[in-house]
Amino acid sequence: MPRQRSRSSFTAVSTRSRGWVASFDRPGGNLTGVQFTVDELMPKLLELVIEVVPQAKRIGLLSGPNSSLDLTATANSKGVRVDMSPVVTDSEVDAAFAKFVEGQVQAVMIYAFGRARAAALASKHGLPTFALYRDLPEAGGLLRYGPSQTAAYRVKGIYTGRILKGEKAGDLPIERTKKQELVLNLKTAKALGVTVPQSILERADTVIE
């Protein structure tokens, strides 16, 4: 959809979107929104992979094409290896999974796009998948841990009301997401033969059965 510069807009922005605004406290222009600190959550996601699949010593990671993500320190501290494959297209997702299967990875983390396709391939090859975004478990992946979309929608509603009452979007600070949510697809876990620890079940905000 073309950007309409004459209107105020609300969006979700990542930590790599700083060039869009003057500052998070006072963005200026017609843009405000919610900051998703996704990069900082990847080490925690890796820890969850290890907690849910403790036998996994080699883990695949689908990353973006220009990602600067580095999980080496966390992987080394946990005694695991992370094989990263940058992907954009469906064919690249297919090629990455072929490499993961050949390399005998035991779980896959998904940072990039193509999560629905990755979930289908993971199911085909019997691999548990983990991501930061809710659409993964909804598409049949195993687990999602990431910024609460409900909290983001709440901020969006509040800010929309304030803008409609006359405030300028550029004067409203970009909110940082503080609440994370854990979504588990228990049906997928059972299909893969993964025994989910009770601690994960108790912490889950949503369980898909």
pLDDT 10s digits, 83-125: 999 998 889 999 999 999 999 999 999 987 778 888 899 999 9
Domains of the chain: 9-37+149-178 (3.40.50.2300)
Sheet containing 9-14, strands listed edge to edge, beginning at the edge strand earlier in sequence: 9-14, 31-36, 175-176
With 0.85 as the threshold, say if the pTM is over it. no
The answer to whether 63 and 69 have CB atoms below 8 angstroms apart is yes
- Between CA 41 and CA 46 the distance in angstroms is 9
Q: 123: number of CA atoms within 13 Å, CB side?
A: 18
* Both tokens assigned to 26: 């006072």
Residue 71: which of 58, 88, 55 has the closest Cα?
A: 58
Res. 4: pLDDT tops 70: no
- Chain segment 148-165, per-residue pLDDT in tens: 666 666 666 777 787 888
pLDDT value for 8: 43
